[in-house]
Structure 1
Amino acid sequence: MYSYRVRNLRSFSDDPNSEYIEICPLTIFIGTNSCGKSSLLRTFPLLRQSIESHTSGPILWYGKYVDYGAFSEAKNKSSSSEIIFFDYKFDLRGDSSLSFSQNEDLSVDLSLGVTGIEKSTVFDSLTVKALGVEVSVKYNEDGAFNVYVNGEITDAILTVNNKKSQGFIPSISLLGWRGGAEGCDLGDVENSEDIELNYYELIDKYNYYQAISRDGVKRLYETLSSKLQGDYENFYDFEREFLNGFYFDGIESVSEFDSFSLLSKEELFNVQKELLVAYFPTFIDEVNHYFECYFQRVKYIAPLRSTAERFYRFQDLHIDEVDHTGSNLAMVLRNLSNHQMRLFKDWSLNNFGFEVYVPVSDSLHYEILINIDGQETNISDMGFGFSQILPIITSIWLTEYSKSNPLSIRGRIPITYVIEQPELHLHPKMQATLAKVFAKVAMFKRNIGSPINIIFETHSKTMIDALGDVVEEYGGRESINIVILEKENNITKVTQTGFDDEGDLLKWPIGFFSGR
């Protein structure tokens, strides 16, 4: 995921030319109270709770992690538009059915529009740009969905499943053609070996495998057939083999056809474009899977974490992820092996100056201890800041300890930490230390090819200054994006800045922290 933006959500405008937020290993949101920081940051856990749940629409506004209320409360109330847009720029890396090799990146721009009907949120529009082609699906007044390719309407009619969302984007399938032909199962054709249909009759009659662009599929075949090698009585066998191969295995498998070796680079690019348009529902399935993989790897930590308890009741549960409030922190630590516990103690000591551990006990109750300079203290007797920082550092360490970052079938997708106000109840020295640990972890993981993105909002000038110190000493200013949010006439304006090589901020508003 390269960048994203929201439009018409809370205080954000519906301007299609509004700025995208660049996602870096470290992305920091800064602004005054009620300027839109949380609304922008919480879209990450919003998408995670929407994808993880069985929903009746594309967005679950109120769920496990965050609460936007409902569509009517999430929409910008000062706007006349009744559509909220979620816009993303990302890569399908190597495993797209449109990729010729696993080393090929396929850049995609996606915009999903949702609207409200009564109390429900429903799909309104979808626009995808890839390979120089723009495909849009838009709701019309007749209750159907029109399909546009580069701004021109096609003759395809799509149906969108709003009743049971199986991902961020509702499932899309071909309903038929404006000329009256209906989608038809190909079983009767595939089981008839003696049938002789030319390619055009086949497409016209059966809408082969949900192809939404009849002309596009024809152009694709014409490109390939002009380069065909081999002796064919007719092209029917080749047609079936090619189309079946693409649908099930992608373009990389069908590229083994002799004809591909004779195609120019431009012709290969045209093949990809025609496939994208012709089999748009299949491509959307791939995009949906990418979003599922990406947002399931989002780890959200809320601004107010659970307070510490003196003792915790033993439960025979295995939990390996700190929840967004830190309420299960004790169980996560309790599930660490002795070896993991030693590593965590050493890590917390080296980075923060104290050890955290759960001693072994035969009791049904256990406690979290903090060791500072050899003095052990129950966490409930420590300052409130310890209960607020421990869920953060434990969650970060769990990823730091995991030296592998498993490959999804969509390529290497980063773990994204989304943290609200990590500095709460922390002394400025500890705030600076935490910021430096964020930078260390994010930059190190990026360098070893196992990326972590950390996105957080803060009111702490100390944390910003500490990141500047990191840049001055170690470099890496391109890995940090400072996002300044300010309100003008009830609309949030976004400015993105960063550090120079000396660690000084660029484009910093005068009086931003002091108010003078």
Structure 2
Amino acid sequence: MSKIDAIRLKNLRCFEDTGFLDLKPITILVGRNSAGKSTFARMFPLLRQSAEEDKRSPILWFGKLVDFGSFSTAIKKGTENKEISISFRFQTVISLRTQPEPDLFDERSKQKLRKKYSREGDTSVELELVLKQNERTGVTYAALIEVTIFENKCRLECDENGGVSKLLINEQDLTPTDSFGCSLNQRNILPSLQYFQTRKLKFEGVERTLRMRISPFLAGIRSRIEEGVHGKTNEDTIQSLINSILIGTKSDIRASLLNSRFCTATSRENFTKLFRRKSYSDSFNNLLFAHVFPKIIENVDDTLAEIASSVRYVEPLRATAQRYYRSQDLAVDEIDSKGTNVAMYIDSLSASERERLNEWMSKYFGVEVSSRSEGGHVTLLLQTQESKGTGTNIADLGVGFSQMLPIVLQLWQATLPPAFRKRVKRSEENTCIVIEQPELHLHPAYQARIADVMLASIVDSGSIVRSTQIIAETHSPHLINRLGELISEGKLSHKDVKIIIFQDSFESGSAEARTSDFDEKGILKNWPFGFFEA
């Protein structure tokens, strides 16, 4: 499963332009209050709530996880450019052939077809999504979708009425004209793109206008193929040559065509000469990418939705402990962002799951957790290694334990091996855990141990199919110092940690972000002197 390698924000809240910020297995966000840490961290739950709901626009600014208000409150104040840009870099598996995917195939057959025609290994993708607001309706719409893939830049410009104003492939304008057009329909995050041709037909003496789903670029692709084949080559062979083309780099395209079983020795020689001409190679390449651009957008949107579904968010104001929790016969497979369902989650664990959890809790925090159900209520109990008996009601302990539990449970669940994954929707699922202020109400020693738990999550999960990405916003020097110690002890690679420092710029009036890294000895580089001092 894919995960985000880097993200860039423009004109979002306090940011003018963050530039691309790399994400690692452990990414720590630091900075003074109102410097942009929370805005950056909440981009990930924002992505999830946007992908999960049916909506008219790409982004759901206000939802069950985070509240950005609306487009007008999310856009940077005072900016003259009334648009918000969100960019991503990620790796994904792309399956693209010029051959269309038949609508008659069932989903299982389609999956087999995609797997058969997938390129080996992951493909690097860069996406920029530019958002604007329809001044008449107030609805947010995608004004620009730009995908860079296989060294090709595919750009779609859209108007506020849901139409396509321009289609550019490597800066060549290939906007459909004449009887051809484009339509957009909102999907998960991105809108889908469809090509059509308008035709007028008479039916029982009445003229009707029909839209046929036909690509405006097939004729141009066929024309380029005809340049390389014998003049008497039949239409079926030409179409088979087109269908055999694998969309990728120019060398991939050339190789798939030349190696096709429908390409004769003479045609192979002709195509080899034609591809040496830059004008032919560029034109052929751009037509192919324009033809499959709807499929590229669909692939990228599906990847974004998959990434979004993996986000687990722990917000800073977490639920306080209760003496009794109302019992509910619900299957609990995820901790909610406030941790309000922690008791139900623990109570729903099997005996083997609870044993694994308590081994983990005991190792890192010296406590074990249990639940007791009676009279339609659930009680949460904590027991230390030193104490004996049935444990103490969590409501009778310090608030730190109730604040820590949602974090610990999220990180613990990421370590579950396949045999314990009844709670995970896909066995190959990555997890992106976003935590705001994990140190709240915790003793400095426990703040430091959060770093050990983070390490355990990425190491344990890295040894199996699933992998974990942790993004934590913090004010705790103890947590950061402990990460350095773990690196110096050889338990954590310095390449797996990134520190992003957010700060206000008095010159630009915007928040700025820069990065700091640990060296191999666990010492921070480019760290601002006296950062945690008053």
The 1:216–1:34 alpha-carbon spacing in structure 2 relative to 1, beyond 3 Å, is farther
State the 1:338 CA deviation: 1.4
Maintained 8 Å contact 2:143/2:160: no
**Structure 2 partner of 1:199:** none
Unaligned ranges ≥5, structure 1: 177-181, 186-205
For 2:395, the aligned partner's letter is S
Q: Report deviation, 1:218.
A: 3.5
The whole-number CA distance in structure 2 between the counterparts of 1:294 and 1:219 is 39
Q: Equivalent residue for 1:73?
A: 73
| Alignment partner of 1:217 is 2:233 | no
Q: Residues of 1 paired with 2:433 and 2:96: CA distance?
A: 26
Between 395-404 and 342-351, report the one with greater CA deviation.
395-404
Match of 2:406 in 1: 391
Please say if residues 370 and 377 of structure 1, whose CA atoms lie closer than 8 Å, have aligned partners that are also in contact: yes
Which residue does 2:25 correspond to in 1?
25
Partner of 1:124: 143
The equivalent residue for 2:103 is: none
Contact 1:219 1:274 (C-alpha < 8 Å) held by counterparts: no
Q: Please give the residue correspondences for 1:292-441 in structure 2 after superposition, counting only pairs within 5 Å.
A: 292-359=305-372, 361=373, 363-372=375-384, 373-375=386-388, 376-403=391-418, 414-441=430-457
Structure 1 residues 139, 380: closer, same or farther in 2, change over 3 A?
A: same
Q: How do residues 490-505 of structure 1 correspond to structure 2 at under 5 angstroms?
A: 490-505=509-524
Aligned residues of 2:217 and 2:288 also touching (Cα < 8 A): no
- Structure 2 residue aligned with 1:87: 87
Q: Give 1:414 shift.
A: 2.4
How far apart in 1 are the matches of 2:243 and 2:170?
Answer: 27
Does the Cα contact within 8 Å between 1:135 and 1:150 map onto a contact in 2?
yes
Cα separation, 1, equivalents of 2:287 and 2:89: 21
1:40-75 CA distances to partner (integer Å, 9 max, x unpaired)?
A: 111111111011001111110000100000000000
Q: Does the Cα contact within 8 Å between 1:136 and 1:147 map onto a contact in 2?
A: yes
1:9 aligns with 2:12: yes
Change (3 A) 1:301 1:310: same
C-alpha separation between the residues in 1 aligned to 2:160 and 2:46? 29
Aligned-partner residue type, residue 173 of structure 2: I
CA offset digits 1:409-453 (Å, max 9, x no partner): x99662100111111111110000011110221134235442110
Q: Deviations over 1:1-33 (max 9, x none)?
A: 2111111101111x5xx5211111001111000
Of 184, 188, 196 in structure 2, the residue corresponding to residue 161 of structure 1 is 184
Give 1:159 deviation, angstroms: 3.7
Given the superposition, is the C-alpha separation of residues 426 and 160 from structure 1 closer, same or farther in structure 2, using an over 3 Å criterion?
farther
Question: 1:169-184, aligned counterparts within 5 Å?
Answer: 169-176=190-197, 182=198
SS at match of 2:489: helix
Q: Is the 8 A contact 2:29 2:501 kept in 1?
A: yes
1:150 aligns with 2:170: yes
Question: Retained in 2: the 8 A contact 1:160–1:170?
Answer: no
Q: Which residue of 2 aligns with 1:136?
A: 155
> Which secondary structure does the structure 2 equivalent of 1:279 belong to?
helix
* Residues 216 and 277 in structure 1, CA contact (< 8 A), matched pair in contact too: no
For residue 105 of structure 1, what is the aligned residue in structure 2?
122
Contact kept, 8 Å, 2:96 with 2:292, in 1: the verdict is no
State the one-letter code of the partner of 2:377: H
- Alignment TM-score, normalising by the size of structure 2: 0.80
Q: Secondary structure, in 3 states, of the residue corresponding to 1:108?
A: strand
Relative to structure 1, is the Cα distance of residues 111 and 335 closer, same or farther in structure 2, using a 3 angstrom cutoff? same
Check 1:222–1:476 CA distance in 2 against 1; reply closer, same or farther (3 A cut): farther
What letter is aligned with 1:445? S
1:240-293 deviation digits (Å, cap 9, x = unpaired) = 45666789xxx99x98841579698x9799887653332101111111111111
* Contact 1:3 1:90 (C-alpha < 8 Å) held by counterparts: yes
CA contact (8 A) 1:301 1:420 kept: yes
Q: Measure how far apart 1:37 and its partner are.
A: 0.7
**8 A contact 1:175–1:183 mirrored in 2:** no
Gaps of 5+ in 2: 99-113, 202-209, 247-251
Q: CA deviation at 1:139?
A: 3.1
Question: Mapping of 1:194-343 within 5 angstroms?
Answer: 210-211=214-215, 213-214=217-218, 217-218=221-222, 221-222=225-226, 226=229, 234-241=233-240, 257-259=260-262, 275-343=288-356
Amino acid at match of 1:146: K
Aligned to 2:101: none
Aligned with residue 484 of structure 2, among 459, 468, 482: 468
RMSD (Å) for aligned C-alpha atoms:
3.5
Post-superposition offset of 1:494: 1.2
